[in-house]
Amino acid sequence: MEHADWTAEELREHGAAALDWVARYLENIRERPVLPSIRPGGLLEAIPAEAPLEGEPMEAILADFERTVLPAVNHWNHPRFHGYFSVSASGPGIVGELLSAALNVNGMLWMSCPAAVELELAVMGWLRRWLGLPEAFFGMIHDTASTSTLHAIGAARAAADPDLRENGARPGMVLYTSEHAHSSVEKACMALGIGRKNVRKIGVDSAYRMRPDLLGRAVAEDRKAGLRPFCVVSTVGTTSVTSVDPVREIQAVAAREGLWHHIDAAYGGAAAMLEENRWMLDGAGEADSLVMNPHKWLFTPIDCSAFFCRRPDALRLAYSLTPPYLASQEDPKAVHLMDYRIALGSRFRALKLWFVMRHFGFRKVCSIIRQHIGWARELAEEIRAHALFEVAAPVTMSLVCFRLKAGDEATRALLRKVNESGAAFLSGNVLDGRFVARIAIGNIKTTREDVRQTWDAVRRAGEELAGGA
Ligand SMILES: Cc1ncc(COP(=O)(O)O)c(C=O)c1O
């Protein structure tokens, strides 16, 4: 029988060429500038407006990939990509992703692919134990932390207002989070119709941790005003400075006030797996939900966001709806993931995480993360010891926020200079009204030498700017 797709022989040939390209790319990635020098619209102009009428040979497509696409790629997998939260796709994760594309299953229902559903539940069980969460937490995988948090807040609201499913949302529902929480919390409230004006940004202490006393006060004031407090979101590893909100104390307020407590540990969850960092998630076992992103600091290719929820009944209340064509097994062991989320279908994301967790194992994963944290502390010491620089926030994980003492303009110029050099990529932020540069360490291929090279590039740029260069 004729078909249009490749023969096994063609797949072998082109697949081997692509895999060889991947191996060479990763082997020689340090030779590339971390960021491309391309202006907005540059790639768009280079791509024809019309897709081809007749097919083209793979060689031509791969050559164009190298010539046209690659020059516009930010090399996130580069060991000196330190911007945002530095991440990496490890070898086992890449292989897992490849196999999942080949299987091309959809994990919407148990019967749509038992393996996708049950491996997802199994690896979420593994990760739950790595995080030290109790068995009562049901785990599933979303694409991003933003989606996980949206699901948590939607479920929290449904739990507080069971009529919502039929009648729509009541007004006046109020959510609390810290002024350093990720924008995804507020965005979820916009999308869910809660409204930004019903998001209370609770103040922080001198280490950027949410203040439980201010939380309690805000809830009391809102109740007095006739509003309906329903949810608090704490953060373990804030994006700005990786501060850790006092989870246990926030949980105490949540329990007293009947609030759903969601923990955003998208980045910090990985750090909290280390024995010496267990305090970071102290009290999390009593919270209602938690997100941790393996695609951030667990060496898994994007996308993979682990969402844990102690109240799966609330997820079902908020998100289950089964049209007749999807009616399926009633067996309680047959879990249908579509009942716990907005999306019907999902990729087989668990496979890549399973490869990563099995291949490295808990001890190795912890030792890599521990090294990253150690290098961040060493780097902070170097920065502190230099007359031109200062560290801008405590280093709790593997993020170092710093600036030039000369001020915002100088720090912005420093960032531009380092990033344009291609030696490393750092991102910036505004902290307490002042501009700071951020160096995050989180790539599995990063070595101590890479961190030293990054610091050399930063130091040199700072000294040149101070010397008027
Ligand atoms: C603490 C925190 N929460 C949530 C997010 C959003 O992550 P995602 O891109 O997976 O939605 C980020 C992104 O950096 C983050 O740092």
List the CATH number of the domain containing 138: 3.40.640.10
Q: Tell me the per-residue pLDDT of 54-88, one tens digit each, with 9 for 90 and over.
A: 999 999 999 999 999 999 999 999 999 999 998 99
What length is written for the chain? Answer: 469
**Looking at the domain assignment, is residue 64 inside a domain?**
no
Q: Are residues 23 and 160 in the same domain?
A: no
Compute, in angstroms, the gap from residue 148 CA to the centroid of ligand 1: 10
- As a whole number of angstroms, the distance between CA 405 and CA 70 comes to 37
Q: Which two tokens stand for residue 175?
A: 């959510």
For the stretch 8-37, what's the b/e string if a residue is b when 16 or more beta carbons lie within 10 angstroms of its beta carbon? eeeeeebeeeeeeeeeeebeebbeebbbee
Q: Are residues 172 and 83 in the same domain?
A: no
Q: Tell me the per-residue pLDDT of 404-413, one tens digit each, with 9 for 90 and over.
A: 999 999 999 9
Q: Are residues 248 and 393 in the same domain?
A: no
Domain end call among 294, 322, 347: 347
**Looking at the domain assignment, is residue 355 inside a domain?**
no
**Phi, psi (deg, nearest 5) at residue 225:** -85, 5
Residues 6+ apart with CB under 8 A from 422: 32, 33, 34, 35, 37
The type of residue at 393 is A
Compute, in angstroms, the gap from residue 406 CA to the centroid of ligand 1: 31
- Tokens 């329903």 belong to residue: 230
152 lines ligand 1 (CB under 6 A): no
Domain end call among 317, 347, 377: 347
**Looking at the domain assignment, is residue 341 inside a domain?**
yes
Domain limits for position 383: 1-35+74-89+362-469
397 lines ligand 1 (CB under 6 A): no
Which atom of ligand 1 is least distant from the CA of 149?
A: 4
Tally: H helices and E strands in the chain: 16, 11
**Looking at the domain assignment, is residue 316 inside a domain?**
yes
Q: Are residues 263 and 179 in the same domain?
A: yes
**Mutation choice for ligand 1 from 86, 179, 184, CB with most ligand atoms inside 8 A:** 184
235 lines ligand 1 (CB under 6 A): yes
Domain end call among 314, 347, 380: 347
181 lines ligand 1 (CB under 6 A): no
Q: Are residues 81 and 128 in the same domain?
A: no
Beta bridge partners of 202: 178
178 lines ligand 1 (CB under 6 A): no
Per-residue model confidence (pLDDT) at position 171: 92
Q: Are residues 374 and 446 in the same domain?
A: yes
- As a whole number of angstroms, the distance between CA 443 and CA 82 comes to 8
Give average pLDDT by consecutive 10-residue segment, the chain, 469 residues. Answer: 90 95 96 91 93 95 94 95 94 98 96 96 98 98 98 97 91 97 98 97 97 98 98 97 98 98 98 98 98 98 98 96 83 92 97 98 98 98 97 97 97 97 96 97 97 98 89
Strands 305-309 and 138-142: antiparallel
Which atom of ligand 1 is least distant from the CA of 143?
A: 10
Which atom of ligand 1 is least distant from the CA of 144?
A: 10
**Looking at the domain assignment, is residue 149 inside a domain?**
yes
Q: Which two tokens stand for residue 439?
A: 């160096």
**Looking at the domain assignment, is residue 315 inside a domain?**
yes
Q: Are residues 178 and 30 in the same domain?
A: no
Q: Are residues 242 and 178 in the same domain?
A: yes
Residues 6+ apart with CB under 8 A from 144: 184, 293, 303, 305
267 lines ligand 1 (CB under 6 A): yes
305 lines ligand 1 (CB under 6 A): yes
**Looking at the domain assignment, is residue 356 inside a domain?**
no
Q: Are residues 332 and 384 in the same domain?
A: no
Compute, in angstroms, the gap from residue 265 CA to the centroid of ligand 1: 9
Q: Are residues 333 and 455 in the same domain?
A: no
What one-character-per-residue DSSP string does 409-422 give? HHHHHHHHHHHHHT
307 lines ligand 1 (CB under 6 A): no
What is the side-by-side strand order in the sheet with 434-440? 389-391, 399-404, 434-440, 427-431
Q: Are residues 81 and 125 in the same domain?
A: no
29: nearest Cα among 452, 439, 446, 461: 446
Helices 114-131 and 350-385 cross at an angle (nearest 10°) of 30
Sign of CA dihedral 437, 443, 447, 448: positive
The reply to whether the predicted model has a pTM over 0.85 is yes
The type of residue at 228 is R
Per-residue model confidence (pLDDT) at position 149: 98
Q: Are residues 158 and 84 in the same domain?
A: no
Q: Which CATH number fits the domain that encloses residue 437?
A: 3.90.1150.170
Per-residue model confidence (pLDDT) at position 293: 98
397: nearest Cα among 370, 365, 418: 370
Per-residue model confidence (pLDDT) at position 1: 61
- As a whole number of angstroms, the distance between CA 435 and CA 401 comes to 10
Per-residue model confidence (pLDDT) at position 222: 98
Phi-psi region of 258 (alpha: psi -120 to 50; beta: other; left: phi over 0): left
**Looking at the domain assignment, is residue 382 inside a domain?**
yes
**Count of domains in the chain?**
2
